[in-house]
Structure 1
């Protein structure tokens, strides 16, 4: 990028979740092209896309057929809303998703992204309970440190205080329970099954504390993103399903990241054997070639909305966009043809084993996750699990690690949403050679980071 263009980026492009002052005197990293599991910047440098853009480009970069699908659809029907009307691609995609989803999740409400899908699910849950004679059920329960989006409702469900503080007061009625980080488990740290039972039971305790007649829904990710890829312990989700059924609480599986092959299944709930009342999804549905999201709803929850004189007074201008729907259909065809989900299942153990080689480094405390979705937690002391101080986080994580990884050819996430972690979620086409490249870059940069502590 030329100096002038970099300055223009700083002057006019307000980058998301970014400290804009960091780019006042530093060229803004600019990605100009992607191919397979790699991205290329304006200087011609090749870099591994170790985060699939933002857990999005599941089928990989440079899929010309998806771009061509978008062009064909735009030429035929570029836009029409689904506000009381239908168009063929939205109908076809809704049917496809209904067939792919588990149980009786047969109704699809389209959005343009994940945060909107979560917002939709909370509003839908509240109105559902009103329509079924339980108007006091409006509260939601989610997990500490979990991220569920940036709209005011979704942000209220989010369990990251630092992200919420600038925008408070938020939507009332959102409560938090412990997450499934067994690495820092307060109890049963040596017994995953007992820990899973304990963590699930905290949801029941919260429902009872608030009053079952006030709780509308529980929002959980199959693998929690923020905090660094917390997988569920054995038995956790079946127990949560049992608790929700007991108290008439809807279970929402937030799969904005975990759907469409990230864990090796179309939906993450299928990996862990539970059927939710709603699924929120987005990101990988089109592999990022056009924006779309959805809230997939069970027939039972949808039923009162289909009664005469009733409507869900909610919608988005670009929800179910014809171009995005067409691209999603083509993307799902590609998944089937290339068996991308099975590829993740076949290679996930190899990816984990490769990343686990990093456990010999003094800075690596834990390696965890599922499918092609892993977090590496960084520590100062492996024996005590002592984490970074605030000063060390600023100096080592933000001041060095993020940029050093990119400079060495790996784009991924180094963050402290919870404790300091590096997250990896490469495109689903990744194979052992790429895993080895990722491990080698991480080893070199993490060794340098340790020297700075």
Structure 2
């Protein structure tokens, strides 16, 4: 690259310059701009995004675990336009709209068991917040007001609202916003790679991990615990999959102590694991499902809390209401887009595509295990993580300075510059997260592996 070309490449575009001056970006360090130009994404097509220099980048994270059907799907945009021309907005505060009613029925049909009651939000964190509030009021209506606490898992992320953040098990994400909503407590997660309790017996490890949830319930007192929140595959910490029998045992524990089980599927639902809801794949029926992201493939914002008839029953009593809601929850345009997206997923058999290709995706990523920096590759469906280590033989992780150089300094720009958008993350140990659109196949898997190989080989130079 010539000096002139380097100058042009480093010159911020008008959108990047405007963003540096006015846009408060999420989970982003703002002090680096405008000295370091803000990356600007201008369009998407299929599994690829394009920046303001018209570089093509493979979207290895589906935006943010969202774009199941890929970018640029005209039928989803058309569904939004058609609904906006008919009815652009009306709240579901005591009213219904045809798309909201139809979507609620569709989700009830797709959910397992008798999870038939759908409360709409605009995102996942709001769905988690709603689920905790429902759990608290549910037990109050049953005459058990002391049951208000929640058990979640270490390093688990459940959202940013004050209640959802309290449920989140990542201390460094919470410290700037304390005091949080009281009543949330933690149990061990299922990170077999890092847990010395794992001795090569997955079922035994699953029993041990599930028993830690029961231990937490007993320690707090079952008469005070309202719910257990868990993701079928835990995101934060790097795609922590459930050992065999683990989720069924947690279900039994919750039943034994009259505790609601919430399956947080904000990431895991809508095909990410080859089923509409991941709890179906992993063989358990929760009392509540929280979901969002992939419901519309990101073409319009929506989320939902889906509750069982058992949970709904006390709310049907005379003069009882759930005093909670969101202005844009169940937005008619978003609901119409979600219906079109569910049609698309079914028509193109994207769930089956994931089931057919998940082994190939895992096998392709596991090729990276020959690199000294790669300690573990784990995941399920189209949701995978690569754990990076300082010393492969001892599994030693990186210190704070090394994390700074690697996770925030080198990897994001290097991966993006090499043509792959994905997520370096160190909320637990250092991982790279991958969740490609469900339309991807072996060709995209190979491209991801090649870019990751080049980038992780180069990473040795910054450590």
Q: TM-score scaled by structure 1?
A: 0.99
Listed one character per residue, the Cα deviations across residues 270-323 of structure 1 (whole Å, up to 9, x for unaligned) are 110000000000000000000000000000100110111111000000000000
Which of 288, 301, 307 matches 1:297? 307
Over the aligned positions, Cα root-mean-square deviation in angstroms equals 0.8
What residue is the counterpart of 2:462 in the other structure?
452
What residue is the counterpart of 2:432 in the other structure?
422
Which of 268, 271, 274 matches 2:284? 274
- Could you tell me whether the CA contact under 8 Å between 1:183 and 1:189 is conserved in 2? no
Listed one character per residue, the Cα deviations across residues 87-124 of structure 1 (whole Å, up to 9, x for unaligned) are 10000000000000000000000000000000000000
Which of 201, 205, 224 matches 2:211? 201
Question: Are positions 1:50 and 2:77 aligned together?
Answer: no
What residue is the counterpart of 1:59 in the other structure?
69
Partner Cα separation in structure 2 for residue 449 and residue 191 of structure 1: 34
Partner Cα separation in structure 1 for residue 154 and residue 80 of structure 2: 39
Partner Cα separation in structure 1 for residue 331 and residue 71 of structure 2: 22
Instruction: Note the residue ranges of structure 2 that are not aligned, 5 or more in a row.
Output: 1-10
- Could you tell me whether the CA contact under 8 Å between 2:12 and 2:38 is conserved in 1? no
Question: Are positions 1:286 and 2:316 aligned together?
Answer: no
Partner Cα separation in structure 2 for residue 112 and residue 35 of structure 1: 25
What residue is the counterpart of 1:318 in the other structure?
328
Partner Cα separation in structure 2 for residue 320 and residue 4 of structure 1: 35
> SS where residue 116 of structure 2 aligns?
strand
Q: TM-score scaled by structure 2?
A: 0.97
- The runs of at least 4 consecutive aligned structure 1 residues that moved more than 2 Å come to 1-7
> SS where residue 20 of structure 1 aligns?
coil
Which of 348, 353, 372 matches 2:382? 372
Displacement of 1:24: 2.9
Listed one character per residue, the Cα deviations across residues 335-380 of structure 1 (whole Å, up to 9, x for unaligned) are 1100000000000000000000000000000000100000000001
Partner Cα separation in structure 2 for residue 401 and residue 310 of structure 1: 52
What residue is the counterpart of 2:373 in the other structure?
363
What residue is the counterpart of 1:411 in the other structure?
421
Question: Are positions 1:339 and 2:349 aligned together?
Answer: yes
> SS where residue 242 of structure 2 aligns?
coil
Partner Cα separation in structure 2 for residue 237 and residue 49 of structure 1: 31
What residue is the counterpart of 1:73 in the other structure?
83
Question: Are positions 1:115 and 2:125 aligned together?
Answer: yes
Displacement of 1:450: 2.0
Displacement of 1:2: 4.8
Displacement of 1:8: 1.8
Q: What is the total number of aligned residue pairs between the two structures?
A: 453
Partner Cα separation in structure 2 for residue 124 and residue 387 of structure 1: 40
What residue is the counterpart of 2:32 in the other structure?
22
Question: Are positions 1:126 and 2:121 aligned together?
Answer: no
Instruction: Note the residue ranges of structure 1 that are not aligned, 5 or more in a row.
Output: none
What residue is the counterpart of 1:89 in the other structure?
99
What residue is the counterpart of 1:440 in the other structure?
450
Partner Cα separation in structure 2 for residue 324 and residue 274 of structure 1: 29
Question: Are positions 1:168 and 2:178 aligned together?
Answer: yes
Displacement of 1:452: 2.4
Displacement of 1:7: 2.4
Question: Are positions 1:38 and 2:48 aligned together?
Answer: yes
- Could you tell me whether the CA contact under 8 Å between 1:362 and 1:450 is conserved in 2? no
Listed one character per residue, the Cα deviations across residues 200-251 of structure 1 (whole Å, up to 9, x for unaligned) are 0001001000000000000000000001100000110000000000000000
Partner Cα separation in structure 1 for residue 302 and residue 401 of structure 2: 39
> SS where residue 337 of structure 2 aligns?
helix
Listed one character per residue, the Cα deviations across residues 2-52 of structure 1 (whole Å, up to 9, x for unaligned) are 544422211100000001112230111000000000000010100000000
What residue is the counterpart of 1:191 in the other structure?
201
> SS where residue 387 of structure 2 aligns?
strand
Partner Cα separation in structure 1 for residue 156 and residue 144 of structure 2: 28
Displacement of 1:85: 0.5
- Could you tell me whether the CA contact under 8 Å between 1:252 and 1:280 is conserved in 2? yes
Question: Are positions 1:100 and 2:110 aligned together?
Answer: yes
Partner Cα separation in structure 2 for residue 66 and residue 342 of structure 1: 21
Which of 215, 219, 222 matches 2:229? 219
